[in-house]
Amino acid sequence: MAQTEPMYDFDNKRKLEIVSKFEYLVRQLNEHGVDTSNVTPE
């Protein structure tokens, strides 16, 4: 059920930022099994 109309006060660019970073962090979490909250994408 993809969103076809903007419902939030932030745009696709911002959404992509958030999602991408989160995906990276969770991947780290999955791979290392530790709290990676302070890990930077680099």
Partner 1 sequence: MANLNKINEIGDVQAQLDADAATESLKQQEFTRVDLDTHASSVDVNDKDLFTAITAAKTEVDLFLADNPSEAEIKGLINNLEAAIGGPFNSEEGIWLAQQLGLADELSLAVGPAPAPEVSPEKIAELTAFLTEAEDVLKTLDSDFSLESMLSILGDPGVAEQIEAIKLSFPAVKWVTENEDVMTALNNNSDYRALNDGTYLSAEQVEVVMALKSALEGKTDAEERAQIIAEQLGDLPNPNPAPNPSEGGPVSEEALNGSLQALFDGVPDSMQSMFSTEYEAWKAAMLEPDATRISFNDYLVEQANGDEGTLSTIALKMQLANIIEMLKPFIEAIKSLTGQGTEGDADKTETDAERVAREEEALKIRAAEHNRTPEEQRQVERLAAIKKYFEADGAPVIEEFYDMEVTPKVYSETKTQNFLAKTENATFKLEDVQALETSIKGLVSPEKAELILQKGLGYKTLNAIANLPTNAIENITETGITLGKEGTEISFEPATDFNERLETAIDAFNRAEIERVAEETRAAELSALGLPEGVLENSVPLENIPDALFVNADRETLIPALTSLFGVIEGSPLSMADLGIIENNIAAFSELSFSNDTGFLDAVGGYLDIDRGLGETNWNGSEDNADTIFRVVRDGTFQLDYAMKDKDTFIAWLQARTPAAN
Residue 13: CB minimum distance to partner 1, A: 4
Do 25 and 36 meet the contact criterion of CB atoms below 8 Å apart?
yes
Query: Least distance in Å: CB of 21 to partner 1?
Result: 4
Phi, psi of 39, deg, nearest 5: -80, 130
Q: Check if the beta carbon of residue 28 is closer than 8 Å to that of residue 36.
A: yes
> What is the contact mask toward partner 1 in residues 10 to 29, using x (rule: CB under 8 A)?
xxxxxxxxxxxxxxxxxx-x
Please give the residue ranges that form the binding site for partner 1 (CB under 8 A).
1-5, 7-27, 29-30, 33-38, 40-42
